[in-house]
């Protein structure tokens, strides 16, 4: 079985990871952890120039390094289960697009993504990655919600 985990470091993504960890999977199942790094848009107020290019590149380098470190730790956690083979991919670009491209290329059997429970207004302005994956991925998509506090 090929499982793609969409991971952004959020509590919802951690819930999705925990869902993978607690289930029995067929021996030899593969998990690909995909993290999207969204480059910050140049910030320009009226009359000001965009972010200075070397500063932007330094920021992107830091984001890449953090993403690689986080992904390596996740792979180690997943690989502790003998039935799972884990790897990761870091993509740059809008999360929805980057994840859909990874799905198209890797062809998983299942995509697991956490849901932050964005409000309707948030989905209108920001969009919902989970919704985009559920409606556009060519495979099954499981959306994991954060357990409610009791």
Give the residue among 103, 108, 107 at the shortest CA–CA distance from 133: 103
User: How far is 88 from 2, CA to CA, in rounded Å?
Assistant: 13
Residue 57 confidence (pLDDT): 81
Residues 70, 9: contact at Cβ < 8 Å?
Answer: yes
What's the confidence (pLDDT) of residue 39? 78
H or E element: which one contains 76?
helix 53-79
Find all residues with CB under 8 Å of 29, minimum gap 6, and list them: 1, 2, 3, 83, 84, 85
Per DSSP, the chain holds a count of helices (H) and strands (E) of 5, 5
Predicted structure pTM score: 0.83
CATH annotation of 2-145: 3.40.50.620
Task: Determine the pLDDT at residue 126.
Answer: 39
DSSP string, 8-65: -SSHHHHHHHHHHHHS---TTEEEEEEEEE-PPPPP--TT-PPPPHHHHHHHHHHHHH
State the 10-residue block means of pLDDT for the chain, 150 residues long.
94 93 93 90 51 77 92 91 92 94 98 76 57 94 78
Taking the domains of the chain in order of start, what are their residue ranges? Answer: 2-145
């Amino acid at each position: 079985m090929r499982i793609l985990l969409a991971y952004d470091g959020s509590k919802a993504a951690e819930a999705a990871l925990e869902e993978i960890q607690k289930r029995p999977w067929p021996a030899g199942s593969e998990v690909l952890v995909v993290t999207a790094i969204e480059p910050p848009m140049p910030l320009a107020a009226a009359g000001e120039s965009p972010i200075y290019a070397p500063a932007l590149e330094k920021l992107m380098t830091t984001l890449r390094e953090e993403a690689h470190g986080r992904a390596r730790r996740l792979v180690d956690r997943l690989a502790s289960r003998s039935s799972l083979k884990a790897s990761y991919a870091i993509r740059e670009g809008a999360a929805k697009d980057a994840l859909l491209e990874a799905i198209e290329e890797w062809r998983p059997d299942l995509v697991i993504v956490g849901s932050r429970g964005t409000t309707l207004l948030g989905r209108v302005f920001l969009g919902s990655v989970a919704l985009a994956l559920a409606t556009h991925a060519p495979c099954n998509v499981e959306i994991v919600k954060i357990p409610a506090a009791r």
